[in-house]
Chains A and B, each alone.
Chain A
Amino acid sequence: NAGVTQTPKFQVLKTGQSMTLQCAQDMNHEYMSWYRQDPGMGLRLIHYSVGAGITDQGEVPNGYNVSRSTTEDFPLRLLSAAPSQTSVYFCASSRTTSSEQFFGPGTRLTVL
C-alpha cells in the first residue's frame, strides 16, 4: 500500500494564481482531511470529508475549495493564491473521525 500520497512536494505560485494540490489514499478510508501547518500554530483543519460526495469546512476554509468524487481522491484547490497561504499542507485519511489519521508527506507552498 502506498498509504496517503500528495503531489506536488513543492510549489511556488504568484499572487492571484490558482492551483490544485492532489491527495490520494489506497486504504479505502471514508474520512479525509486537509490541514495547513504554520510555525507555532500547530495543524489547522481547512476542509474535511466523511465520504464521497460529502465535504465540510474546518477551522480555516477561506480561499480553498475541495471536492470528493471518489473515496480515494480529495484535491484541495486554491482559487486565487495569496501570500498568507504560504504554508505546508498535509492531507490525512482515517477509517472514522475518531481513529488514527494517516498523513501524507506534505506539500510546501510558497506564494510570492
Chain B
Amino acid sequence: AQSVTQLGSHVSVSEGALVLLRCNYSSSVPPYLFWYVQYPNQGLQLLLKYTSAATLVKGINGFEAEFKKSETSFHLTKPSAHMSDAAEYFCAVTTQGGSEKLVFGKGTKLTVNP
C-alpha cells in the first residue's frame, strides 16, 4: 500500500523568499503523485501532478515539483512567495493504472509574512 509523509505541518516564509514543501512517498509500484492546495474555507484544487512523463512538473501559480525516484520524494517549490500563497498544501499518491485509492498526506500549512 502507498503512503505519503509531509515533513513539517507548518512552514513560514517571508514574502519573496523561496517556498519548499517536502513530500516523501512510499509505493511498491510506479506512482502518480499530486499536490493540492486548500485556501481557507474552500475545497481542494489541483496544483500539479506527476504521471511518469517529465520528472520536473510545472503547475499553476508558479509552483513546480520534481519527482526523484532515488529519494522517493516529490517536493513542491516556488522561487518567490506571494502573500496569496498562504494556504494548506497536500501531497497525494496513487498508482499508475488506478488500482489503488488516492492517499493524502497530513498537509503543510504555509504562512507568508510581509
Contact = CB atoms under 8 A, between A and B. Distances in A.
Contacts of B9: 40
Contacts of B94: 97-98
Most buried by A among B96, B99, B102, B105: B102
A98 B98 contact: yes
Interface stretch (B13-21, B41-49, B70-78): B41-49
A58 B100 CA distance: 11
B24 interface: no
Contact of B45 (A33, A44, A103): A103
Contact of A98 (B43, B90, B96, B107): B96
Given A42-B90, A48-B101, 9 more contacts: A33-B101, A33-B102, A43-B44, A43-B104, A97-B100, A97-B102, A98-B95, A98-B97, A103-B45
Interface residues of A, number: 23
Contacts of B43: 4, 90, 103-106
B106 interface: yes
B67 interface: no
A28 interface: no
Interface in B57-114: 90, 94-102, 104-107
A4 B41 CA distance: 16
B34 interface: yes
B106 A101 contact: no
Interface string B1-19: 0000000010000000000
A53 B101 CA distance: 18
Contacts of A98: 32, 51, 94-98, 102
Contacts of B51: 98
B46 A100 contact: yes
A92 B100 CA distance: 16
A100 B101 contact: no
A100 B49 contact: yes
A44 B98 CA distance: 18
Nearest to A108: B41
Interface string B26-42: 00000010100000011
